[in-house]
Amino acid sequence: MPPRSRSLSALALALSLTAVAGACGSNTTDTAATPSTGEGGATVDATPGKGSKAVGFIFVGPKDDFGYNQAAFQGSEAVKKAFPDFEVLTAENVPETDDAARVMEGMIDKGAKIIFATSYGHLDPAMKVAAAHPEVVVVQQGNLIKGTVPANAGTYFGTVYEPVYLAGIVAGKQTKSNKLGYVYAFPIPQTISNINAFELGAQSVNPGVQTYVVNTSAWCDPGKQAGAARSLLDQGVDVITQHQDCTGTITKAAEAAGAMVVGYHADASSLAPKGWIAGSEWSWADLYTDIVKTSLAGDFTGSKYNANFREGLKDGQNPFIESKFGPSVGADVKTLVDTAKTRISTSGSPFAGPVVGQDGKTIVAEGTVPDYATIESLMTVFVKGVVGELPKN
């Protein structure tokens, strides 16, 4: 036995020796090649993102999940189309850990000076990479940078809950049982705000309606999704929606049971031709392209993207848009949706006061219209009308 195993050691030793040798070599060349990282780095090259030949995108899941990651991937495809002589690097299934930093570094090695980290949990590794590479623009999708925003970083997101609120209106009008079902993954602010907006939208046209929630503790676990959908249907829920990364299982389960479906992330109406009533989906193309354009021009620092950038109906555009209505939705319901949309676009918000929590306490006072940042910080509790409980913090 010893001789064979020794040869393994020898092999690995040889590997690590070449590795170490390579490390020393590449170290020296690296420092020589990027003077901008030194303290005297006020050279042109140091302008974040300027002159990049490639752009990198990391996704937390597979890029064809019929949901969140697929939408982000389609955004990257739009960038590829807008900048044909650009290399668009994509990496899927990138964990939300320190390993993500390595994948982003690998993209930088391949010439990317603009990086999109597209999941909430990618924020910490993204900030680490941004700190190590002042010449690279690193933007993160959906989370918030606390404190000072570095000159080469930012976060961006749509106001997800606006179209969800509008879809809630449709659900509130279409339901016959007055019970709506919401399958979610984890109790994070982005999810809680969606659930609340959905219920508030439904309530705005149907005061007695309730939203039942079930979680799956996973962004995509079809086995658990099937059980969650089943339990909601057994409670007499006749409209189901979800906040999951992959959406096929729940959509098909609702359709098979004759329930109605409100989509999320992507247009899945083909999976539920009968039950589909409304939905929301991502349209990242314009925002991604504009971020890349701004960065390439060397204008990233100080731009609106060099912050926790949020946009919604009030700003005239929201990368999270309404999906098409289903065949059963009548003109009167569509009018209600249009009216609400106009209200939000001019001065309102789905969370315009009064908003009351499950425990009866006021979350947003009457007459107050909270801004985007305030809403994200308020979303730690469910509103009245949601059936289910959140873990306490």
Partner 1 sequence: MTAADVPVVVAPKRALPGGVSAGLRWVVALGGAAVIFGSFMLAKGANPFEAFSSMFAALRTDTSLKGIATQSAPLIFAALAVAVPAKAGLVNVGGEGQLLLGGIGATAMSLALGGSLPGGVTLVLLCLAGALAGAAWSALAGLLRLKVGINEAVTTLLLNYIALDLMLFLIYDKWKDANGSGQPVTAPLPVPERLPLIGASGLHAGIFIAVVATATAWWALRSTRWGFQLRVVGGNPEAARRAGLKVGLLLISAMAVGGALAGLGGVVQLAGAEFKLRPGFLVSYGYIGFLASWLARHHPVRVATAAVLLAAIAVSGDSLQLDSGLPAATVNVLMALVLLAVFGWTQHKKVATT
Partner 2 sequence: MSLASEVLTGAVRGGTSILYAGVGESYAESAGVVNLGTEGSMLVGALAAYAVASETNNPWAGALAGLVAGGALALVHAYFVLHRKANQLANGLVVLFLGLGLTSLFGASYVSKPAKSFTPWRIPGLGSLPGVGDILFNHDPLTYLSFLMVPASWWLLTRSRWGLLLRAAGERTEVLASYGHSVRRIQYMAVVLGGTLAGLGGAQLAIAYANAWFENMVQGRGFVAVAVVIFAARQPFKVAAGSYLFGAALALSPALQARGYGINQFALDAIPYVTIVVVLVALGRRRAAEAPEGLKKVFEVSPST
Footprint of partner 2 on residues 353-382 (CB under 8 A)?
none
Which residues, 259 to 318, sit near partner 2 by CB under 8 A? 270-271
The answer to the question of residue 64 lying near partner 1 (CB under 8 A) is: no
Name the CA radius of gyration of the chain, rounded: 24
Phi, psi of 233 (to 5 degrees): -60, -40
- CA-to-CA separations, 61 to 70, 95, 219, 220, 311, in angstroms, rounded: 9, 8, 9, 9, 25
What is the distance between the alpha carbons of residues 250 and 65, in angstroms, rounded to a whole number?
13
Edge to edge, what strands does the sheet with 54-58 contain? 87-91, 54-58, 112-117, 137-141, 153-158, 308-311
- Does 189 help bind partner 2 (rule: CB under 8 A)? no
Residue (4 or 361) nearer to partner 1, CB: 4
Residue with tokens 């959905």: 198
107 binds, among partner 2, partner 1, none (CB under 5 to 8 A by kind): partner 1
- For residues 358 and 372, give the distance between their C-alpha atoms in angstroms, rounded to a whole number: 22
Which of partner 1, partner 2, none sits in contact with 22, Cβ below 5 to 8 A by type?
Answer: partner 1
The interface region with partner 1, picked from 180-188, 238-246, 257-265, 291-299 by CB under 8 A, is 180-188
177 lies in the site for partner 2, by CB under 8 A: no
> Which one of residues 77, 92, 267, 299 is an interface residue with partner 1 (CB under 8 A)?
92
Rounded CA gap, 154 and 127, in Å? 9
Which runs of consecutive H residues, i.e. helices, occur in the chain? 2-33, 68-82, 99-109, 123-132, 161-174, 189-205, 222-234, 248-256, 285-296, 331-346, 372-378
Among 62, 111, 189, 357, binds partner 2 (CB under 8 A): 62
SS3 category, 46: helix
**Residue among 17, 33, 53, 98 that touches partner 1 (CB under 8 A):** 98
- The contact pattern for partner 1, residues 144-173, with x = CB under 8 A and - = no contact, is x-x---------------------------
Residues 75-114, mask of contacts with partner 2 (x by CB under 8 A): ------------------x---------------------
User: What is residue 305's three-state secondary structure?
Assistant: coil
**Which of 72, 78, 79, 103 touches partner 1 (CB under 8 A)?**
103
Is 235 one of the binding residues for partner 2 (CB under 8 A)? yes
CA distance 248 to 259: 15
Q: Which residue type, as a one-letter code, is found at position 316?
A: G
| Cα separation, 210 vs 38, whole angstroms | 58
- DSSP-derived 3-state class of residue 371: coil
Q: Are 242 and 268 in contact (CB under 8 A)?
A: no
Sole window of 39-47, 91-99, 206-214, 352-360 interacting with partner 1 (rule: CB under 8 A): 91-99
Does position 43 bind partner 2 by CB under 8 A?
no
77, 80, 82, 189: which one contacts partner 1 (CB under 8 A)? Answer: 189
Our finding on whether 220 is near partner 2 (CB under 8 A) is yes
Give least dist CB 225 to partner 2, A: 7
Provide the 3-class DSSP secondary structure of residue 242: strand
* The only residue of 38, 41, 51, 106 in contact with partner 1, by rule CB under 8 A: 106
Which tokens hold the place of 115? 């990086």
Distance CA 210, CA 318 (A): 27
- State which residue, 270 or 346, has the beta carbon closest to partner 2: 270
- 137 sits in which H/E element: strand 137-141
Q: Which positions touch partner 1 (CB under 8 A)?
A: 1, 3-5, 7-9, 11-13, 15-16, 18-20, 22-23, 26-27, 30, 62, 89-99, 102-103, 105-110, 120-121, 123-124, 132, 143-144, 146, 186-189, 192, 217, 376, 379-380, 391-393
Q: Which positions touch partner 2 (CB under 8 A)?
A: 1, 62, 64-66, 70, 93, 181, 187, 212-215, 217, 220-228, 230-232, 234-235, 237, 246, 248-249, 252-253, 256, 270-271, 387-389, 391
